[in-house]
A and B are shown apart, each in its own frame.
Chain A
Amino acid sequence: MSRYILGRIASTGLVLVGVSALTFFIAHVVPGDPVLVALGEHAREDQIQAYRRAYGLDRPVVVQYVIYMGRLLRGDLGVSIRTRRPVAVDLRQFLPATVELGTAAWLVAMMLGIPAGILSAIFKDRAFDHLSRIAALIGASMPVFWLGLLLLGNFYFRLHWFPGPGRLDITIDAPPARTGLLLVDALLSADPIAWGNALRHLILPGLTLGLFSTAVVARMTRSAMLEVLYQDYIRTARAKGLSAWRVHLWHALRNAMIPTLTIIGISFGNLLSGAVLTETVFAWPGLGRYATTSAVSLDFPAVVGVTLVAAVIYTLVNLIVDLIYARLDPRVRYD
């Protein structure tokens, strides 16, 4: 087991070095001239030279990469061209909104996807199974940004059931920022009005972002359950005369949840990708919206910073999921 954990951590370290190399490549090699990208076309010659020297761009690419790595390890992601602030500071400011949205979407996916998958497997080839599979298929094929527009148009503009874009109504004072997570901050400052408003603001974007993952989780849970339901020990449990519910929920689900766990890790990447589009539609001040506004204004250090941070978060989440998986399933070995 410890061999597996060590191997998995080592390979994660290797992947992170690769991630930094790829982002370096995108930032420094792909654009024709990173200086022009950073300073704009109208930069003066002395500014260009100063920038080249400051960022080591006059040195060989390998040396540049070493400098870049050194800065990364110190948490220096460069300075945003648009906001004129260090990218790391910007990311710290925008990350909590994305964490809050991602958690809401993740909860939607788990609470809808897992029960749908279980029932689908139990009632295989019956009406519920067909309906749930069609719903999952449509959910997995839906353009997130279009769904967001439809929900916003109907449930905010037309019916006024939910509040509009943003994290809070403009008439409501934000609770003092401690964690950056509005729901947590409102709780900490005992502000039920802000808490309720923040929660209502979270529902539409949370549903929008969660739908795709719901579909994936439902499909995965269904197939994992089906796989388990045909095993001998389930037949034994049935033969012992246990009730159907006890067999399904106690014997089958426990084992079916193990493969479903990996999907939680993988769908996290979908959540981060989907957050870019969802946050754009709902004017949600998170990492995704920061990424798109930066990308549109060709703010390269910011775009690369978000890309790097997203990859690091995604990689670490998958590492944690794999370690939990190995703990739950002792057959897992590092090869």
Chain B
Amino acid sequence: MTDRPRIARRRSAATLRWLRRSPLVTAGGLVILLYMLAAITAPLLAPHSPLAQLLERRLGPPQPGYPLGLDQLGRDILSRVLFGARLSLLVGLVVVAVAGLLGTTVGVVAGFAGGRIDNVLMRITDVFFAFPSLILAMAIAAALGPSLINTMVAIAVVTWPVYARLSRAQTLVLRRQEFIEAARALGASDARVIARHILPNALSPLIVQASFNMGEAILIAAGLSFIGFGAQPPTPEWGVMISEGRDYITTQWWVPTFPGLAILLAVTGFNLAGDGLRDLLDPRLRRAG
């Protein structure tokens, strides 16, 4: 018992040392932190309303008061980019929650039950893997009708199978472990074994996937909005902003450039964090990677 705090301290010290040695992961974490702060405090940080139009100054370049310039309707690009962060964060979180929950449930049930149930569930997963993600998401979004909520549903539908495969693989390894047998021998029900013993131990790769999935969801949502699905104008959404500003790429470069940079930064942050977490949670990779 006395060793536990010491081990925990040693572990967290090692983690801190590792974080210091990995500036990219720290950078990723910082980007995500800044992005989340921007999203949460957008109404306070934004100098103007994201919808307010100043038509006489439309397409104005970056200037005091409008540091990222004004768009084709005279709206402040900085304010729109900040509010766009809220939408993309919302999409990312909802997608990760829905896809993560659905995929993990399917994967754990398949891995735990085995046999025919496993077979059927995994074949269903294979079917979803057979579609290029954006194309399937577009078909679903088209069937449901263009809206932000439908975009989230469509992206969750195309991204849940990864969670299913990961959690099934983890469950298959874990269910043969001795501590699971011990829990069973003590009379624990299947539900209890899954909830208390399998899920907590299967979480690492799922957390890594959640980080990548956030980035992926932001990219797909922006792509869908760009081609006319997802959020609709005048919503301050990054994909919509690039789509509306595409004609000004050479003359007023700031209109489509800053929303694109925002997407790039946010997605890079999540991908960096995903890479770092994977290395952190999988000690084998620390040496090789």
> Could you say which residues of chain B place their CB within 8 Å of the CB of A303?
138-139, 142
> Could you say which residues of chain A place their CB within 8 Å of the CB of B260?
143, 146, 149-150
Q: Which residue of B lies closest to A158 (CB)?
A: B250
Given contacts A31-B143, A295-B228, 18 further A-B contacts (CB under 8 A): A18-B123, A22-B131, A26-B139, A141-B267, A143-B223, A143-B264, A144-B223, A149-B256, A153-B250, A157-B250, A227-B288, A274-B134, A276-B138, A276-B223, A291-B138, A295-B227, A306-B139, A314-B130
A270 touches B132 (CB 8 A): yes
Question: B215 near A: Cβ within 8 Å?
Answer: yes
The answer for the CA separation of A295 and B226 in the assembled complex, in Å, is 13
Interface size on A, residues (CB 8 A): 57
**B225: min CB distance to chain A, Å:** 10
Q: Which residue of A lies closest to B266 (CB)?
A: A141
> Could you say which residues of chain B place their CB within 8 Å of the CB of A310?
131-132, 135
A269 touches B143 (CB 8 A): no
> Could you say which residues of chain A place their CB within 8 Å of the CB of B141?
295
The answer for the CA separation of A11 and B129 in the assembled complex, in Å, is 13
- Interface residues in A1-58 by Cβ distance below 8 A to B read 11, 14-16, 18-19, 21-23, 26-27, 30-31
Question: A245 near B: Cβ within 8 Å?
Answer: no
The answer for the CA separation of A145 and B263 in the assembled complex, in Å, is 11
A276 touches B127 (CB 8 A): no
CB within 8 Å of A: which residues of B?
A: 24, 123-124, 126-128, 130-136, 138-144, 215, 219, 222-223, 226-229, 239, 242, 246, 249-250, 253, 256-257, 260, 263-264, 267-268, 271-272, 275, 288-289
Question: A137 near B: Cβ within 8 Å?
Answer: yes
- Interface residues in A138-163 by Cβ distance below 8 A to B read 138, 140-146, 149-150, 152-154, 157-158
Cross-interface CB contact of A19 among B130, B239, B267, B288, cutoff 8 Å: B130
Question: A109 near B: Cβ within 8 Å?
Answer: no
> Could you say which residues of chain A place their CB within 8 Å of the CB of B123?
11, 14-15, 18
**B66: min CB distance to chain A, Å:** 21
**B52: min CB distance to chain A, Å:** 25
The answer for the CA separation of A146 and B229 in the assembled complex, in Å, is 16
**B34: min CB distance to chain A, Å:** 15
Question: A250 near B: Cβ within 8 Å?
Answer: no
> Could you say which residues of chain A place their CB within 8 Å of the CB of B227?
145, 276-277, 280, 292, 295-296
Beyond A26-B143, A143-B222, A143-B260, whether A276 also contacts B250 by CB under 8 A is: no
Question: A273 near B: Cβ within 8 Å?
Answer: yes
Cross-interface CB contact of A273 among B135, B142, B143, B253, cutoff 8 Å: B135
CB within 8 Å of B: which residues of A?
A: 11, 14-16, 18-19, 21-23, 26-27, 30-31, 134, 137-138, 140-146, 149-150, 152-154, 157-158, 223, 226-227, 230, 269-270, 272-274, 276-277, 280-281, 291-292, 295-296, 298, 300, 303-304, 306-307, 310-311, 314-315
Cross-interface CB contact of B140 among A14, A30, A145, cutoff 8 Å: A30
A145 touches B242 (CB 8 A): yes
The answer for the CA separation of A154 and B250 in the assembled complex, in Å, is 7
**B212: min CB distance to chain A, Å:** 10
**B138: min CB distance to chain A, Å:** 6
A311 touches B131 (CB 8 A): yes
Beyond A18-B130, A292-B227, whether A141 also contacts B271 by CB under 8 A is: yes
